[in-house]
Amino acid sequence: MLSDIKSTAQTTPPDKPVSLPLECRNIAGFNDQLCFIRTESIFGPYDDVVFYRINSTGQVIFLGSESNAVTTFGGLEFSEAGKYMWLSWAEEGHPHFEFYLTRDFLDNGTHARVLEVIGDYYFGQFVKFSDEGIVTYSLSDDFTECCAQTNNNLGFTNNASTNDKQYLKTINLDNK
């Protein structure tokens, strides 16, 4: 009988605390916070990320977890008034961004519907991320050197400090 077995294992308290710090973000337009815990593996370049929601009463609600074999978690961000959000992941230094309706992610966690994924190899930086669903981002200098001549459907602005063209891509999340 299992209850008759006596354990001979010696137990000691861990050398380091076992709780990981919970990183939380306030969301404009919501009383909730979106929080996550990230673990960085010593065996390879990947993160396990666990998501939580803390509601207005302080209740912590588990939203799910992501375990990615070769990616690291880059963070999350919200549009101006919190209607949309993105999660960022990077593979070998190249980021990709998953876009969600914030309310859907708070209600359904990692099972929320992904509206769009930006995984542009030449991603530079976000220029606009609005509650109207407009996402505009620039393309890196590498893109300008290799591919700008063959892409006539891109917008561009002149960089004020260098007077160089800055190529832009725009998507509309409201159409998804």
Number of domains in the chain: 1
Low-confidence spans in the chain with pLDDT less than 70: 1-20, 41-46, 68-70, 141-165, 176
Q: Is 114 within a domain?
A: no
Q: Is 151 within a domain?
A: yes
Which pLDDT score, from 0 to 100, does residue 102 have?
Answer: 98
Which pLDDT score, from 0 to 100, does residue 21 have?
Answer: 80
Q: Is 94 within a domain?
A: no
89: Cβ–Cβ under 8 A, 6 or more apart, which residues? 68, 71, 72, 73, 74, 95, 96, 97, 98
Q: Is 60 within a domain?
A: no
Which pLDDT score, from 0 to 100, does residue 41 have?
Answer: 65
Q: Is 55 within a domain?
A: no
Which pLDDT score, from 0 to 100, does residue 122 have?
Answer: 76
On whether the CB atoms of residues 116 and 129 are closer than 8 A, the answer is no
Residue 126 sits in which domain range?
121-176
Query: Which tens digits make up the pLDDT trace of 49-70?
Result: 899 999 999 999 999 988 766 6
